[in-house]
Amino acid sequence: MTSINPVQLNRAQQRFWLAVLAAGVGLATLHLVVFPQSPPLPQPPASALLPPPWQAAAASLGAATQQPSFLQRNVAIGPSKRFAHGRDWLLLTPLASWQESALDPAAITTTIPELHLQEAQPQTPSQAKQQIARGRIQGQTSYQTCLTRTGSFAYTAAGLSGTSGAPHLDFLRTLLRGPLPPLPRPSFSCLLVTTNSLQTLAGSAKSNPLFAALASHTQWPR
């Protein structure tokens, strides 16, 4: 097998190989733009791991898996899990982003009526530095917050800042863990919690076991 010596190539051949190289780079860039890799999502716990009397209910959100708009390609939305307790209902929806500032539940769910909280207003939970929002989803009064890997919860991108990122590994530790990841950049994620009951979120005897179970059994991206 003979190698190509650049000295042996005439100008036409050099232009040809430069065009091939440029086309390859262009196609690779276009592929990343058209088919970008989605940030990894957290996995909500199975229904058996939630405290009673919460029970799995029929799924009602196929739309939660829809692709985000062109301007939202750095975010990802996972399928929702629905649970019920008497008249109270609960939805768990994984959210993720490559940029911490883009992990904004209100912005990410804009195109999903079943999840988007309209006329959102902040509530005052019993614990400091934790955010709960009250609004309306399809005409029904609802409440939302987003649980992070640290066990805290917030509703805005500013409130989630500093609590939603995967631990960043330096190059040496990444090598020791095994093969290099396809995108060695940190991701940011939270578990969107939507319910029709404020007491489910507001630090009561009803909400504390639920959030303890979610914090213990949610699987977060590494």
Report the alpha-carbon distance of residue 41 to residue 163 in Å, rounded. Answer: 15
Which among 81, 33, 100 has a CA at the least distance from the CA of 193?
81
Q: What is the pLDDT of residues 151-186, one digit of tens each?
A: 999 999 999 998 888 765 545 445 555 555 444 568
Q: What is the mean pLDDT of residues 4-14?
A: 64
Report pLDDT for 65. Answer: 45
* pLDDT for 204: 73
User: The whole model's pTM is what?
Assistant: 0.75
Does residue 36 or residue 190 have the better pLDDT? 190
Report the first-to-last Cα separation within the chain, whole angstroms: 44
Of all residues in the chain, the percent with pLDDT exceeding 70 is 71
Tokens in use for 215?
Answer: 């914090």
Instruction: Count Cβ atoms below 10 Å from residue 27 Cβ, excluding itself.
Output: 10
- The DSSP H or E segment spanning 212 is helix 207-217
Beta bridge mates, 140: 137
List the single range of 11-15, 63-67, 96-100, 189-193 with lowest mean pLDDT: 63-67
Task: State yes or no: pLDDT of 126 exceeds 80.
Answer: no
Whole-number Å distance between alpha carbons of 146 and 189: 9
- pLDDT for 9 beyond 70: no
Q: How confident is the model at residue 16 (pLDDT cuts 50, 70, 90)?
A: confident
pLDDT, residue 173, reads 47
190-217 pLDDT, tens digit each: 999 999 999 898 877 778 899 999 999 9
Q: What is the pLDDT of residue 91?
A: 94
Distance CA 79, CA 123 (A): 26
Using pLDDT thresholds of 50, 70 and 90, give the confidence band for residue 4.
low
Q: Looking at the predicted structure, is the pLDDT value of residue 25 above 70?
A: no
Q: Which residue from 98, 100, 146 is spatially nearest to 120, judged by alpha carbons?
A: 146
Percent of the chain predicted with pLDDT > 90: 39
Residue 42 burial by Cβ neighbours in a 10 Å radius (0-12, 13-18, 19+): buried
Query: Do the bridges between strand 153-154 and strand 118-123 make them parallel or antiparallel, or are there none, so unpaired?
Result: unpaired
Interatomic CA distance for residues 198 and 125, integer angstroms: 10
User: How far apart, in whole angstroms, are the C-alpha atoms of residue 47 and residue 34?
Assistant: 36
Of the candidates 167, 125, 126, which has an alpha carbon nearest to the alpha carbon of residue 145? 125
pLDDT tens digit sequence for 76-110? 999 999 999 889 999 999 999 999 999 999 999 99
Beta bridge partners of 190: 95
Greater confidence (68 vs 123) lies with: 123
Token pair in block for residue 104:
């904004």
* Helix (H/G/I), strand (E/B), else coil: 163: coil
Check: CB of residue 39 under 8 Å from CB of residue 187.
Answer: yes
